[in-house]
Amino acid sequence: MAAEIIDGKAIASRLRERIAAETATFVTETGITPQLAAVLVGDDPASAVYVRNKQRACEKAGLRSTLHRLDDRTSQGELLLLVDRLNADREVHGILVQLPLPKQIDETTVLDAVAPLKDVDCFHPENVGLLSQGRPRFQPCTPAGCQYLLAESAVQTEGAHVVVLGRSEIVGKPMALLMVQKGKAANATVTICHSRTRDLPEITRQADILIAALGRPQFVTAEMVKEGVTVLDVGINRTDDGKLVGDVDFTSVATKASAITPVPGGVGPMTIAMLLANTLTAARLQTSAS
């Protein structure tokens, strides 16, 4: 079986075009340009690349993007003061605090300090609570990107068994919440697996849709999946020789899957597109509330 390649880059490009058109209409109607403020603490090279890509995507879609760079010795108090200033700035509609943060800073405290209406990453407890109730204010970027890929690829999710590998607050848990809800590209039966799961291959072989978000390079092999499975690979790992690979052994798993995302060019571009969508949503919400 030759797996269909789910081209996240192409799908994200079409979505960004739609967001750009909607942004242009919003700016014309309100005179307000949605603005995303990104906060980067330290000099982690990967984080710098991610932030730069997000800034470029914003500009192409007609959104403003500002970057606040802080030294890796920045204290938690100093970072919280910046977040407070951005919360109070009426021209800033979305706040992105790039993770990971230096060890002297508690990530949960900082993410909780972001105003819920500006929390375009959907990390704040208020927004996570709304998501769990099936009435999200914002969509968690990477999980929503995965769900969008399933919808655009016409993958049948209703009644399907979705297995999520990983239980992180960023991907695993919100991914499960999205897939179990009523609605488009949802209505699935969901199993979350993690490092303490027993007989993991036995469970993954039951998956109609497998979503890998473990952070372990090429962990999922052909022996762990059944024929015809749809595989979304959220992992981004760099090998010792500098190669970028996912959490799935693409070459072997693609021989059994009906559809699969590549790394790079799969889920990654969708995460950025969803961030743009959330920033526009945030601007709409704040404009209507003012």
Task: Provide Rg for the chain, Cα atoms.
Answer: 19
54 is a catalytic site residue: yes
Encoding tokens for residue 1?
């079986």
> Which of 54, 118, 173, 256 is the catalytic position?
54
pLDDT value, residue 240: 86
pLDDT value, residue 2: 81
pLDDT in tens, the chain (290 residues): 689 999 999 999 999 999 999 999 999 999 999 999 999 999 888 888 888 999 999 999 999 999 999 999 999 999 999 999 999 999 999 999 999 999 999 999 999 999 999 999 999 999 999 999 999 999 999 999 999 999 999 999 999 999 999 999 999 999 999 999 999 999 999 999 999 999 999 999 999 999 999 999 999 999 999 999 999 999 999 888 889 999 999 999 999 999 999 999 999 999 999 999 999 999 999 998 76
pLDDT value, residue 234: 97
Nearest CA among 51, 53, 49 for reference residue 61: 53
**Strand extents, DSSP E, the chain:** 4-5, 35-41, 64-70, 94-97, 161-165, 189-193, 209-212, 230-233, 237-238, 244-245, 259-260
> Which of 35, 55, 98, 139 is the catalytic position?
98
Q: How would you list the strands of the sheet with 161-165, edge to edge?
A: 4-5, 259-260, 230-233, 209-212, 161-165, 189-193
Q: CA 237, CA 48: separation in Å to the nearest integer?
A: 16
242 Rama sector, left if φ>0, alpha if ψ -120 to 50, beta otherwise:
left
Encoding tokens for residue 134?
């099936």
- Positive or negative, the Cα torsion across 82, 84, 88, 94? positive
* Domains of the chain: residue spans and CATH: 32-116 (3.40.50.10860), 141-268 (3.40.50.720)
121 is a catalytic site residue: yes
> Which of 55, 118, 121, 256 is the catalytic position?
121
pLDDT value, residue 46: 80
Q: Which residues have CB under 8 Å from 202's CB, separation 6+?
A: none
pLDDT value, residue 1: 62
Q: Which residues have CB under 8 Å from 218's CB, separation 6+?
A: 237, 245, 246, 247, 248, 249, 250
